[in-house]
Amino acid sequence: MKVRIKKQFLVTLFYLVTFPSFSQGWNPLPMLTQQSKAAGNMGGEGCQVISSIAIDGTGNLLLMGTDVGGLYKSTDGGINWKPCNKGFKPRGSAYTAIDPNNNNRFIVVGGNSSAWDWHGIWLSTDQGESWSNTLPKKHGIDAAPGRGYNMIAYDPSTFSGGKTNTIYWSAPSDVTNGGGLFKSTDGGQTWVNLIPTMGGSFIAVHPTKGYLYVGNSTGLYKSTNGGTSFTQLFATAILGLAVTKANPDWLYIVRSFDIELSKDAGATWTKKSGNGLPTSAANGGLGWTRIHCSPINSNLLTITNETGAWYDVPSYRSKDGGDNWIKPTYNTNYVFFPNNVAARIERPAFHPTNANIIVSCSGDWICRSTDGGDNYSFSNNGNNGVLGGYFNFNPFHNNIILICTQDYNSTLTTDGGATWKYLNVSGQGWGGFNYGGYAFNGKSMYAGNASGWSNPRFLYTSFDGGQTWTNTNLQGSGSD
């Protein structure tokens, strides 16, 4: 036994001496191609569902939440990203928000696909360097109307003592220890449940007068007294709403394949044409939903069409207040994994002073527009959230590593992680369920591949650097 202990110690010492950086902490290793590196990118594969993106009043600071990949922030207008999860216990978030009057203060609705006691409201007062769980609530991330809907709203008119004091949260409908419409009057430190039946609603606050708008399956409601009482404005289901600082009395709402605009805080309404938007949901989905408006151009809008299929959720853009719409174009250069352009709901963050700049997402990667939403391009540097499993280092070629991922096939580096190559093990193109792999050299390798979650794994081999793969029909002992 003493001999074995000594050998283990010597091996440990060897690694500490050979790789001293390990003792100093970990560095991110985002995936990127040689082409992307040559273009000056640091890389970022993304690969976790983006739930929301918040932007501050300068346009430089952004906060992005994912479903199970934690939180990221950018300090250069959404060009580069880094994690900000110190002290943040949830694996992901359902919504992110930044105090409009003090960008040191973040509010995040912690959550992921499973419900845990430490979800709920998390507050940071130092731009995400530390976090506290000020309102623990056990909930998942996909409760109706789903992740990323307008569930947090600040009342900018309540600024005092260095912070915006009044904040509303429409807690998801699956909260097991009390959902509903919550209100804080001390910047998110403490909360009260105003109306338990108003959980899972879209909410917005009038930018100057503090009116609270709530939209849900029973209709549209307005409060002029901080949520003490409400007047119902519509009795049909509301699928989205948006206000704008450019015209504070304006309020956009979305109903079933219908967009309405009020220019007098909900007193009267005008129907918008919606030209260019689909007139039905191919797979029985909600159709038009989640409308967003620029804070400085009240005619610049985005909207999502939920078809009912998770892989088909296209977004549209209007520059004339909702009468005419187009689909944006997404430049997929430098996107490492298949991008699933239409597969994810758009989460736009409009720049507060330049209407041409919008930071959003396409698939599971951040993109950025500089022409008001007509065209988007890769802006995902630093967002390295791919979920991998166990992997092995090659003892004979220490620059060669094959990593298998839960949803996105596999990836190979032959230069120690400086650049990577996407491996389409499954043959599905968009991704695949790969677990356990190894590269003998740059040509010969194997990976476990399953046809879906919880399905059996089979051994696949390649002898041409991952260009083609063969199913050996040898089944592994476990599923994904």
Looking at the fold, whether 313 and 426 belong to one and the same domain comes out as no
Whether residues 281 and 164 fall in one domain: yes
Q: How far apart are CA 50 and CA 239, in angstroms?
A: 20
**Same domain membership, residue 395 and residue 374:** no
Q: Which DSSP category does 9 fall into?
A: H
Residue 2 lies in a domain: no
pTM, to two decimals: 0.92
8 A C-beta contact, residue 77 and residue 357: yes
How many CB atoms neighbour CB 279 within 10 A? 8
Q: Residue 146: its pLDDT value, please?
A: 64
Residue 3 forms part of a structural domain: no
Neighbours of 348 (CB within 10 A): 24
Number of residues that this document lists for the chain: 480
Paired with 401 in beta bridges are 413
Query: Over its length of 480 residues, how does the chain's per-residue pLDDT go in tens digits?
Result: 333 323 222 222 223 333 333 346 788 889 999 999 999 999 999 888 899 999 999 999 999 999 888 999 999 999 999 999 999 999 889 899 999 999 999 999 998 878 888 999 999 999 999 999 999 998 877 655 666 789 999 999 999 999 999 999 999 876 766 789 999 999 999 999 999 999 999 999 999 999 999 999 999 999 999 999 999 999 999 999 999 999 999 999 999 999 999 999 999 999 999 999 999 988 888 899 999 999 999 999 999 998 888 778 889 999 999 999 999 999 999 999 876 665 678 889 999 999 999 999 988 899 999 999 999 999 999 998 887 767 788 999 999 999 999 889 999 999 999 999 999 999 988 888 998 899 999 999 999 999 988 899 999 999 999 999 999 999 987 654
pLDDT of residue 344: 76
User: Over the stretch 27-58, which tens digit does the pLDDT of each residue have?
Assistant: 888 999 999 999 999 999 988 889 999 999 99
**403-456 pLDDT tens trace:** 999 889 999 999 999 999 999 999 988 888 998 899 999 999 999 999 988 899
Write down which residue in 378, 406, 421 finishes a domain.
378
Same-domain check for residues 289 and 359: yes
Find out whether 349 and 358 touch, Cβ atoms under 8 Å: yes
220 and 176 in a common domain: yes
Considering the domain architecture, whether residues 374 and 398 belong to the same structural domain is answered as no
Kindly state whether residue 142 falls inside one of the protein's structural domains.
yes
Among 355, 378, 401, identify where a domain stops. Answer: 378
Does a structural domain hold residue 156? yes
On whether both 338 and 393 belong to a single domain, the answer is no
Q: Distances in Å between the alpha carbon of 367 and those of 80, 307, 323, 379?
A: 11, 22, 25, 5
Range of the domain at 432: 387-479
| 441 occurs within a structural domain | yes
Residues 461 and 356 in one domain: no
The SS3 assignment for 378 reads strand
Q: The domain spanning residue 171 has which CATH number?
A: 2.130.10.10
Decide if 375 contacts 328 (C-beta within 8 A). Answer: yes
Cα–Cα distance, 98 to 359 (Å, whole number): 15
Same domain, 406 and 348: no
Which residues, in sequence order, are CB contacts of 473 under 8 Å at separation 6+?
458
pLDDT at 431: 87
Q: Say whether both 328 and 446 belong to one domain.
A: no
Under DSSP, is residue 354 helix (H, G, I), strand (E, B) or coil?
A: coil
Tell me the three state secondary structure of residue 167. strand
Final residue in a domain of this structure, among 378, 408, 439:
378
In a domain? residue 57: yes
Of the candidates 356, 390, 352, the residue with the CA atom closest to the CA atom of residue 371? 356
Asked if residue 11 is part of any domain, the answer here is no
Determine contact, residues 185/166, Cβ cutoff 8 Å.
Answer: yes
In a domain, 33, yes or no: no
129 and 107, same domain (yes or no): yes
**Distances from the Cα of 7 to the Cαs of 14, 156, 395, 473, in angstroms?**
11, 63, 18, 40
Number of domains forming the structure of the chain: 2
Is residue 81 located within the same domain as residue 230?
yes
